[in-house]
C-alpha cells in the first residue's frame, strides 16, 4: 500500500477511536468483555463497489497479520488495510498476538451485502455520494439540488482532520428529511457543515468517479435532449488563425414537445478524442433565454474525461429552487476548440466533427425521473480549403462543376485527367453516395435531393478535391 494511503487510513482509525467511535462488529460487542484474554476482531467498509478498507478492532496486541484470499499481509504498524478482491464473496482472517503471548484469530466471509460492514450498519456519509451508489459524479448533483438550503445536525468529527470532503466513511446523525428514493439528507451535506449549499458541489468534483454502466431509457415521443451547433459547415484555410471554435447548445424539449416540471439534468456526451486537446471544451450555463434558469440560480457539475484517455464530457445542472420549470430551450453553451494543426494533420478535404449525447437522467421537483428521447448526433462539416476548392490548388482548377446552383442535375468535367470516384455529402458532412467512375465527364441526378448546400468530393488521378454545390 502506498505510504500516503497507509498514513491516511491509519489516521482515519486513530481519530475515530480517539473520538469514541469504535468500529465494533456485532460479535465483538457481544463477547469482548466476557473472554478476559486477547480477542481478534475487525470490521470493514466499502469505499467503492470493489474496494474495501479493513479496520482492526481487536483487544490490545503487539502484532497482527491479515490473510485475504489466501495471501498474508504483515501490517504490524498500521490498523487499516486496503483490499481490492479478485472475487466476491471471499474470506478474510485477522490473527493477533498480545504481549503475554496470547494469540487469537477471527475470520469472516465478505460479500457486498455482508451485515458486518460498518457502513451498512451505520449508513456512513461518503462525501460527494448523494444517491448511495458508492461513487461521486454528475448524477449526485440532482439530489443536491433537490435538498438545496435544507439544514440538519452538522458532523462533529471527520476521519481526516481539516479535510471534511476527503473520500472516507463519515459517521453522521440522521436528518429529518429523506429523498423520494430513501436517501437521508445527511448524505447531501457533503462537507458536514449542517447545510446543503453550493459548497457541497466541491466534494463531487474532488471525489469524482465516472459511471460507465448507467443505461439510458429513452421513450419515443418524449421531450428530446440534444445538441445543436450554431453552424453546419466551417471552412478553414489557416489564414484567419490556427484554431477553430465550434459553438453548440445543449437543448431540452421543443415547442411541440416541451419538458414539464424539470428540476435537474445530468448527462454525458461523446466527442472525437483525436480532434481535441486537453482543456479544449468549455461548458457554461446558458445566460440568454435559459430553460432551467440563469447561472446564479443553478448548481452545475462539469467534468472532462480527456485525462483518462476518453472522449467523454460529463455535465449536470440543477435548480436551487424547490419549483420545477416547464418549456423548452437551452441549458448549457458549449465551445469546442479544435487546433488548426489537428485539422491539418487529418489531411482530408472534408471532415465531420460529431457529438452524441449518450446517458441522461432528468428529475422533476419531487425527484422523480422524467422520460426523454435522445436526439440525433450533432455534427459540423469542416472543409479544409487547403485541400479542397481553392484557387491555389492545381486540381481544383481542372475540375468543373456546372450548373451551380443546380436544379434537376449537375455535371462534372475534368481536363487533363480521369474522374475515378465521386462522394456526395450533405451540409452536415454525412456521406449520401459514393460511386466509382472512369470518365472525364459525368452527370449526377439531383431530383431526389432536398434544397440546400452539398459537397462533392472528387478523385482525379489519385488526388482529391472538394466542390460546393447548391441544389434549388
3-state secondary structure the chain: CCHHHHHHHHHHHHHHHHCCCCCCCHHHHHHHHHHCCCCCCEEEEECCCCCEEEEECCCCCCEEEEEECCEEEECCCCCEEEECCCCCCEEEEEEEECCCCCEEEEEEEECCCCCCCHHHHHCCECCCCCCCCCCECCCHHHHHHHCCCCECCCCCCCCCCCCCCCCCCECCCCCCCECCCCCEHHHCCCCCCCECCHHHHHHHHHCECCCCCCCCCCCCCCCEEEEEECCCEEEECCCCCCCEEEEEEEEECCCCCCEEEEEEEEEEEECCHHHCCCCCEEEEECCCCECCCCHHHEEEEEEECHHHCCCEEEEEEEECCCCCEEECEEEEEEEEEECHHHHHHHCCCEEEEEEEEEEEEEEECCCCEECCEECCCEEEEEEECCCCCCCCCHHHHHEEEECCCECCEEEEEECCCCEEEEEEECCCCCEEEEEEEEECEEEEECCCCCCEEEEEEEEECCEEEEEEEEEC
Q: Is 346 exposed, middle or buried (0-12, 13-18, 19+ CB in 10 A)?
A: middle
- 226 in the Ramachandran plot: left (φ > 0), alpha (ψ -120 to 50) or beta? beta
Residue 239: partners with Cβ closer than 8 Å, 6 or more residues away: none
Kindly compute the dihedral angle of the four CA atoms of residues 293, 191, 305, 181, in this order, to the nearest 10 degrees. Answer: -70
pLDDT band at 122 (very low <50, low <70, confident <90, very high): low
Same domain membership, residue 316 and residue 236? yes
Which of 160-169, 207-216, 395-404 has the lowest average pLDDT? 395-404
Question: Which pLDDT does position 190 carry in this prediction?
Answer: 97
- Segment 127-138 shows an average pLDDT of 92
- Segment 280-306 shows an average pLDDT of 96
Same domain membership, residue 431 and residue 461? yes
pLDDT band at 393 (very low <50, low <70, confident <90, very high): low
Residue 350: partners with Cβ closer than 8 Å, 6 or more residues away: 381, 382, 383, 384, 388, 425, 429, 455, 457, 466
Q: What is the C-alpha separation between 109 and 24, in angstroms, rounded? A: 16
Same domain membership, residue 331 and residue 251? yes
Same domain membership, residue 400 and residue 363? no
More confident residue, 159 or 395: 159
- Segment 19-28 shows an average pLDDT of 35
Per the domain annotation, does 156 fall within a domain?
Answer: no
Average pLDDT, the chain: 85
- Which residues lie across from 325 on neighbouring strands? 262
Question: Which pLDDT does position 75 carry in this prediction?
Answer: 66
Same domain membership, residue 330 and residue 278? yes
Same domain membership, residue 418 and residue 378? no
Same domain membership, residue 337 and residue 240? yes
- Which domain CATH number covers 290? 2.60.40.680
Question: Which pLDDT does position 343 carry in this prediction?
Answer: 81
pLDDT higher than 80, residue 250: yes
pLDDT higher than 90, residue 268: yes
Per the domain annotation, does 194 fall within a domain?
Answer: no
- Count of all residues that appear for the chain in the document: 472
Range of the domain at 68: 3-120
Which of 58-62, 125-129, 353-357 has the lowest average pLDDT? 58-62
> Pairing mode, if any, of strands 298-304 and 281-285?
unpaired
Per the domain annotation, does 152 fall within a domain?
Answer: no
Write down which residue in 59, 93, 120 finishes a domain: 120
Among 219, 163, 230, residue whose Cα is nearest residue 191 = 163
Same domain membership, residue 460 and residue 368? no
Per the domain annotation, does 402 fall within a domain?
Answer: yes
pLDDT tens-digit profile of 337-387? 998 888 877 777 778 899 999 999 999 999 999 999 999 999 888 887 766
Q: What is the C-alpha separation between 272 and 300, in angstroms, rounded? A: 24
Same domain membership, residue 413 and residue 375? no
pLDDT higher than 50, residue 406: yes
Q: What is the C-alpha separation between 362 and 208, in angstroms, rounded? A: 20
Same domain membership, residue 288 and residue 405? no
Is the separation of the CB atoms in 50 and 16 below 8 Å? Answer: no
Same domain membership, residue 116 and residue 14? yes
pLDDT higher than 60, residue 222: yes
Among 184, 194, 268, residue whose Cα is nearest residue 225 = 268
Residue 456: partners with Cβ closer than 8 Å, 6 or more residues away: 401, 412, 422, 423, 424, 425, 444, 466, 467, 468, 469
pLDDT band at 24 (very low <50, low <70, confident <90, very high): very low
Cell, residue 122: 451505520
Write down which residue in 99, 120, 141 finishes a domain: 120
pTM: 0.72
- Segment 423-434 shows an average pLDDT of 80
- Which domain CATH number covers 411? 2.60.40.1220
More confident residue, 429 or 316: 316
Kindly compute the dihedral angle of the four CA atoms of residues 151, 156, 160, 166, in this order, to the nearest 10 degrees. Answer: -10
Among 267, 277, 354, residue whose Cα is nearest residue 313 = 267
* Domains held by the chain: number: 3
pLDDT tens-digit profile of 167-194? 888 889 999 999 988 899 999 999 999 9
Max CA distance (Å), the chain: 102
- Which domain CATH number covers 11? 2.60.40.10
Write down which residue in 353, 384, 415 finishes a domain: 384
Same domain membership, residue 430 and residue 360? no
More confident residue, 452 or 395: 452
Per the domain annotation, does 293 fall within a domain?
Answer: yes
Q: What is the C-alpha separation between 429 and 446, in angstroms, rounded? A: 17
Per the domain annotation, does 316 fall within a domain?
Answer: yes
Per the domain annotation, does 168 fall within a domain?
Answer: no
Per the domain annotation, does 371 fall within a domain?
Answer: yes
Amino acid at each position: 500500500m502506498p505510504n500516503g494511503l497507509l498514513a491516511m487510513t491509519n489516521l482515519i482509525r486513530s481519530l475515530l477511536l480517539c473520538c469514541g467511535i469504535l468500529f465494533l462488529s456485532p460479535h465483538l460487542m457481544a463477547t469482548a468483555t466476557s473472554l478476559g484474554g486477547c480477542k481478534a476482531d475487525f470490521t470493514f467498509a466499502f469505499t467503492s463497489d470493489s474496494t474495501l478498507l479493513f479496520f482492526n478492532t481487536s483487544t490490545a496486541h503487539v502484532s497482527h497479520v491479515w490473510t485475504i484470499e489466501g495471501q498474508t499481509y504483515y501490517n504490524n504498524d498500521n490498523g487499516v488495510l486496503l483490499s481490492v478482491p479478485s472475487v466476491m464473496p471471499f474470506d478474510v482472517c485477522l490473527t493477533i498476538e498480545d504481549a503475554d503471548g496470547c494469540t487469537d484469530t477471527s475470520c469472516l466471509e465478505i460479500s457486498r451485502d455482508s451485515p458486518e460492514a460498518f457502513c451498512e450498519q451505520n449508513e456512513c456519509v461518503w462525501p460527494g455520494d448523494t444517491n448511495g451508489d458508492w461513487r461521486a459524479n454528475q448524477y449526485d448533483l440532482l439530489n443536491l439540488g433537490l435538498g438545496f438550503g435544507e439544514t440538519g445536525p452538522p458532523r462533529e468529527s471527520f476521519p481526516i482532520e481539516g479535510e471534511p470532503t476527503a473520500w472516507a466513511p463519515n459517521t453522521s446523525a440522521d436528518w429529518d428529511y429523506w429523498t423520494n428514493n430513501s436517501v437521508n439528507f445527511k448524505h447531501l451535506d457533503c462537507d458536514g457543515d449542517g447545510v446543503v449549499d453550493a459548497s457541497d458541489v466541491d466534494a463531487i468534483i474532488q471525489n469524482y468517479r465516472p459511471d460507465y454502466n448507467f443505461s439510458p431509457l429513452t421513450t419515443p415521443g418524449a421531450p428530446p435532449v440534444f445538441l445543436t451547433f450554431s453552424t453546419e459547415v466551417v471552412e478553414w484555410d489557416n489564414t484567419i488563425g490556427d484554431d477553430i471554435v465550434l459553438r453548440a447548445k445543449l437543448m431540452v424539449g421543443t415547442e411541440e414537445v416541451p419538458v414539464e416540471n424539470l428540476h435537474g439534468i445530468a448527462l454525458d456526451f461523446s466527442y472525437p478524442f483525436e480532434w481535441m486537446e486537453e482543456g479544449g471544451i468549455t461548458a457554461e450555463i446558458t445566460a440568454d433565454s435559459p430553460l432551467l434558469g440563469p447561472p446564479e440560480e443553478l448548481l452545475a457539475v462539469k467534468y472532462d474525461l480527456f485525462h483518462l484517455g476518453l472522449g467523454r464530457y460529463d455535465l449536470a445542472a440543477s435548480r436551487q429552487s424547490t419549483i420545477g420549470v416547464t418549456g423548452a430551450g437551452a441549458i448549457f453553451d458549449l465551445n469546442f476548440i479544435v487546433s488548426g494543426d489537428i485539422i491539418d494533420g487529418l489531411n482530408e478535404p472534408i471532415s465531420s466533427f460529431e457529438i452524441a449525447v449518450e446517458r441522461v437522467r432528468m428529475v422533476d421537483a419531487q425527484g422523480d425521473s422524467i422520460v426523454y428521447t435522445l436526439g440525433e448526433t450533432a455534427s459540423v462539416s469542416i472543409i479544409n480549403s487547403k485541400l479542397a476548392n481553392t484557387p491555389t490548388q492545381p486540381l481544383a482548377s481542372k475540375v468543373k462543376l456546372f450548373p451551380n446552383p443546380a436544379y434537376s442535375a449537375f455535371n462534372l468535367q475534368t481536363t487533363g485527367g480521369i474522374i475515378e470516384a465521386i462522394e456526395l455529402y450533405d451540409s452536415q458532412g454525412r456521406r449520401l453516395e459514393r460511386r466509382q467512375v472512369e470518365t472525364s465527364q459525368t452527370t449526377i441526378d439531383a431530383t431526389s435531393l432536398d434544397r440546400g448546400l452539398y459537397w462533392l468530393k472528387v478523385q482525379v488521378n489519385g488526388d482529391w478535391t472538394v466542390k460546393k454545390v447548391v441544389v434549388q
